Each structure stands twice: as structure tokens, then as C-alpha cells.
Amino acid sequence: SQSCRVPCTPCRVLVRRAVSLYAVATSLHRVLSRMSASGSSSGPLGTTPSTQSKPLSGAVPKRTLRAPTPTNRLGNPTLKRSESLKENLDHHPKRQRAAAPTSAATAAKQIMDLKKRRRRSRSTCDVGTAPLTSAASRNALKASGSTSTLGSLASKHKGSTMSVAPSAPKSKGSGSSAALAPSAAGKRKPWDLQGRVKDLEELVSSLAGDKKELQILHKEKEQQVEVLIKDNSELQVQLEHVKRLTLENDSLKEQLRHKTNEVAKVTAELDSTMTKLGCCQREKQSLQETVSQLTGNYAGLQAEHSAMQLLLQNEQEKCAQLADSLRQSQEREAEKDQQLQDAEMIRRDLHNTLQELKGNIRVFCRVRPMLPSEEREGERPSHISFPDEKTVELVKPDTEKVMAFPFDRVFPGSATQAEVYEEVTHVVQSALDGYNVCIFAYGQTGSGKTFTMEGPPDLDLGCPNDSQLGLIPRALQQVFMSAQELQNTHHWEFTMVASYLEIYNENVRDLLSTRPRSKQTACQIKQEKDGSMMVTNATKTTVTSPEQIYELLRRARKHRAVGATQCNEHSSRSHSVFQLRITGTNRQTGVGSRGLLNLVDLCGSERLDESKAEGARLRETQHINRSLSNLGNVILALSQKAEHVPYRNSKLTFLLMDSLGGNSKTLMLLNVSPREKNLAETINSLRFATTVNQCDIGTAHRTMQASSHY
């Protein structure tokens, strides 16, 4: 058979069916030829009963033909399926588009032919058969050699069908024969081979007719395929053209959209520009009016400018004169500053000379007033008198012997805190000048040492104008005031570092520590290479105002050891030492100074037979008396110019080593009780103070240094 020029699926199906039918017809022809050759020697049509009941050797298992199905006149449903495929193909959207160029008359003719074929196929009887491929049929016939397996074939007679059943297997030595099964309407007898052959011949002739029709249909399909190919080519060209036009159309639409947007944008800009133009025109008109006004003003300003030029010239001349005056004033000011610096140096030298003339160890004596409780008891200080400001006299009641004790200054009980400090202020000033200064209060217990140094116990240190302020807060006020004055007038800058210690039973304690005493680290006294004394583990606070100092004093007052004895209800049981290290630098000259201010409140000396101390108080009294005795020994050694001064015999003298020697200024403020029962202890204190007052420890020297900033 011929094949289509184009691999069309419907055409392939038709060709396959035609080839299959041709193979079936050829197989039937061979079977009939063999059956006619053997018909003369066996029963009707050459068969025997034994062979009729046995199937051909190698045949497939028996199967019954299906019920007849309506077919076309060719007796094969393949043509019906091909026509259905053709109809679906003709109605396919793509085929409709491809066949669009054909004329309406041609399309109508094709539809009429299709309807005729359908009516012709309905008027005939269809034969149902199992489709067999040509290759499968040929292989089956070759394998059997003498038999063939036939599927169910449809008959052309009315309602008559037949089924070809496979023969039973042959016994050894027997021949082969085909068993034909009659249809359900009128089955032929098994021995009626001629009838069966006749049926097969009719089937073959029918298949031959179908084959011719299929060939004709195949040629028509080929012609249609050629037309469709040609139409498809034309449609492809048209499709490409349409696609190209579509792309161009889309591009033009996009360009049109962009142009439309640009036109809208330009239109908006034009409107905005027109609005701005209107504003500019109005502004131009306003500016023109302003220009007219300014032109008139300009003429007036030119006249004023000419006048101002003359004034400016005069002012420039005045400025030149003032500049000369300013330069001369600055020169005079520089000279004055230099004179002030020289005067300050002269003042310091004169002040130091005056203090040296008065003595580097000075002793003041202060007799405390009678307490209200003592006055109520009728006591009068009749045994004490003050011939002048520098002498105190005592009269023994039993012998009426008068003893006179001269000092640098004597203060009676009526003297105020301010009067006492007035004599101390010159010594405090020396600390700012770069000297080591030590002021300590000495006397028996209950003589008013703590009152003189700090003030009453209930004193509010935040009130700088309180008349009860002691020497320590007053001295610190003076230090800060003098430092501020020197900074403003003589270009000095000062740094001050404060610490507050107590010596209790020969142990150094830090009174400014915020930790509990049980958790404090022990303080140790060490001597630096330059001879200054340093205390390890002690709190050192940089202070910039008196208020900070007052806060430190409040904290120290809470921590100091105080106890009651037979001699004093509020007796200090330790030596307290307030230290303020002052470092100064002159910004103009680059000269620096370093001073140390020690303010010491010593414990009161006690007689054991009077205090009747026991236990812890006894040990405290012993340490107090021993340290005071060592202080006297140090001062005595200094007065005698001894080679060895026993500073290390007590913690107090070792701590004050750099403030008791020749390079320091020392002020001892002796406090005396006015009570007659304390006369013996008063005499001992006055004798010790007289010994100290007679000491000459040499000339003090300032500690000067070059500033590292210059």
C-alpha cells in the first residue's frame, strides 16, 4: 500500500487497518485452498469425525466471537473510526483555520459525501472482528504451518454471525482440520465445510471491495493532505505576517502610551510654568516698584556714605590713638603684674622672716572657761591670772607661791574661737606658700582640745559663719579663699588632697573609709625618698571646695574612738591627724610649690591614780601617755640638736616626722583646765609647753619645684 506524504495520524490508522485486512484475506485464501485439496478423502468436504473434534496443532485457545456490532458495508469498524476521525479532524479548530481559504461550495460537497457514506454504512450489516496486525497474523500462520486463528468476523446476512473457534489439539499421527462454529441465528453443521468456505469466500470478496474503497479513500486523503499542506504553508506565512503585525501593533501601542504620558507630563509642566510665569510677572512688577524706591534711597545713602566716610576717618584716627593707649596700658599692666609677683614673693619672704623671728616652734596657751555645772558647784578660777597677753600665772593654795609661764600668746577663758584663730592664720598661710605646717592641740583630758580644733560636738559644720567653728574648719576656709585669690590675681592654680587618720593604741586607722572597721586594711606609715611621709591603704580625696571638707569632717567624727572616764565623760581615746597636701603652680612664671598642713588633736594626758582606768581604758591610757611622752622626747631632742631624734618610737611622731623637723613650722596650742583640782596636771602641762617654746629647730625652707607644664 502507498503511504501519505505527510505523517497524519488518521491516515496512518487507515493504512494499518487496510494492511491488516489484506493479511486476513490472504490467510483465508490459503486455508480454503488446503481444505479443498483434502475434501475428496474425508467425510463431507474431506473431513472425518475424529478430525472434526480436534483442533489444529499449534492453534490458540478457543474463544467465542463477540456479538455482532453495527458496521459499515465493508464489515469492519475500522472505516467507521476513520470516518469519525476525519469528521473530528474537519471540525478541529486548527483544521477549520487551515481550511478557511476553501470555497463554500467545496465545503458543502464534502459534507454531503460524508452524510452519504454514513447512511450507506448504517444500511449494511457489520461484522465484529478482533483487530489483528499484519505482522501478528503472519507470525501466527508461520508458527502453525497448516492452521490459522481467525477472530470474530461479521456476516453480511441479516442478523447472522459466525464465530471461528480454535481447534482442539491433535493426537499423535492424526491430521489437522478447522472447526467452524455456526452463528447464533443458523449455525452450520460441523461437517458443512462447503458452506463455511462459501461464507469465507463472500467475506474475502467483501474485504476486497473494502480494500478498493480504502484505496480510493486513501487517495482522496492524500489529495486533501496536499491541499492542507499547501493551505497550511499559506496560513503559516499569513500567521507569521499576523504575528509581525501584532508585534508592530503592540510596539506602536506602547509608543503611543509613552507619548501620551509624555504629552500629559509636558502639559502639566506647561501649566506649572504658566503659573510660575504669572507669579514671576507679578514679582517682576513688585521688584520694579522696589527698584524705584531703592534708587531713591540709594541717592540718599550715597550722601550719607560720604558723611560716614568722614566720620570713619575720624574714628580710625581715634582708634589708632586708643590702640596706642591700650598698648601702653597693657605694658603698664604687665609691669604691674610683675610688680605684684615680686610683691607676692617679697610678702612671702617677709612673712616667713616674721614667722622665723617669732620662732618655727610657737606655743599658745588657752585656758578654757568654767562650765555651767562647775560654776553651780561654786568653783572659781582664783588660782589663775593673766598679767599680759603672753603670760599665765598660777598660785598654789597651800604655799601661795606664784609661778609665771611665758608663751607666744595666752588666751583667757573669755577668748572666742575667732580670736584664737586670728593668731593662727599666719601659720596656715605658710602651707599655701609651700611650707610644711603642723598645728596640734596638747593638754590634759577635759581641757578643751577637741573644742578648740573642731568646735562643740553638736556643731553644724555646714554653717561657715558659726562663731563656734574650730581651728580645722576655719583653716580650711582660709586655704580655699587664699587659693582663689591667688588664682585670680597672681595666676596660681592649686590641687588639694585631704586625708584623716587616727592613732589608737599605736594602730593607724582611716577615719574616711566607708567600709566597716573589721574589713578595713591595716594602714602602714612609710617614708618616701624625698623625706615625705606616706600612709598606705588610707583614703585620699581631692577636694575643690570647703563643703567637701565639711562632709569629710562629719564622716571622721562618726568613726573616731571616744569613751567616758573618771576625768572626762566624752574623752577622745585616740590622736586624730587631718592632713591637707597642697600643690600649686603659677601659670605665668611656671614656678610650683608643695605644702603640707597637719591639724592634730592629741589625746589628753591622764593620771592613773585620778582616772582609775581599768581593762581596755587602762591600756588606752598607757598608750596615750607613752605617745605623748615620746612626742616630748622628740621635741627635746630637736631643741638639743641631738644626732638621733627618736621619731620611730611612736606612730604619732613617725607620722609627723616631716612636720616637726627643721623644714617645718610648728604651732603647739596648749589647753589648760581652770579647775583647782587639776592644778597639778596643769602645772605639768605648762612646764612641758615652756620647754617646747624654748626649742630652736632651725629655719624652715619652702618646697619649690619647676612645673612639668612649662
All three cell numbers of 159? 442478523
Residue 399: φ, ψ to 5°: -110, -10
Element (H, E) at 180: strand 180-181
DSSP 615: H
DSSP 519: G
Centre a 10 Å sphere on the Cβ of residue 398 and count the other Cβ atoms it contains: 5
65 and 152 Cβ atoms separated by less than 8 Å: yes
DSSP assignment of 290-339: HHHHHHHHHHHHHHHHHHHHHHHHHHHHHHHHHHHHHHHHHHHHHHHHHH
Nearest to 560 by CA among 633, 599, 503: 503
148 and 141 Cβ atoms separated by less than 8 Å: yes
Is residue 666 a known part of a binding site? no
Rounded CA-CA distance 410/269 in Å is 103
With both helix axes pointing from N to C terminus, report the angle between 615-639 and 679-693 in degrees, rounded to the nearest 10.
30
CA angle 453, 456, 461 (to 5 degrees): 80
Residue 66, judged by CB atoms within 10 A of its CB (0-12, 13-18, 19+), counts as middle
CA dihedral (109, 112, 118, 124) in degrees, to 10, reads -100
491 and 586 Cβ atoms separated by less than 8 Å: yes
DSSP 540: -
Nearest to 163 by CA among 171, 154, 173, 172: 154
Is residue 449 a known part of a binding site? yes
- Helices (runs of H) and strands (runs of E) counted in the chain: 17, 20
Is residue 443 a known part of a binding site? yes
Is residue 615 a known part of a binding site? no
Residue 438: φ, ψ to 5°: -130, 120
Is residue 677 a known part of a binding site? no
Is residue 445 a known part of a binding site? yes
CA angle 420, 426, 333 (to 5 degrees): 140
All three cell numbers of 226? 496536499
Is residue 448 a known part of a binding site? yes
List beta partners, residue 582. 496, 595
What residue type is 682 in one-letter code? T
Starting at the earlier edge strand, list the strands of the sheet with 384-388.
Answer: 384-388, 391-395, 402-406
DSSP assignment of 404-457: EEE-SEEE-TT--HHHHHHHHHHHHHHHHTT-EEEEEEEEBTTSSHHHHHT--T
All three cell numbers of 590? 611656671
DSSP assignment of 109-175: HHHHHHHHHHHHHHTS---------HHHHHHHHHHHSS------EE-SSTT-EEEEPPPPPPPTT--
CA angle 208, 212, 214 (to 5 degrees): 110
DSSP 708: T
Rounded CA-CA distance 487/588 in Å is 11
Residue ranges of the binding site: 443-450
Binding residues for ATP: 443-450
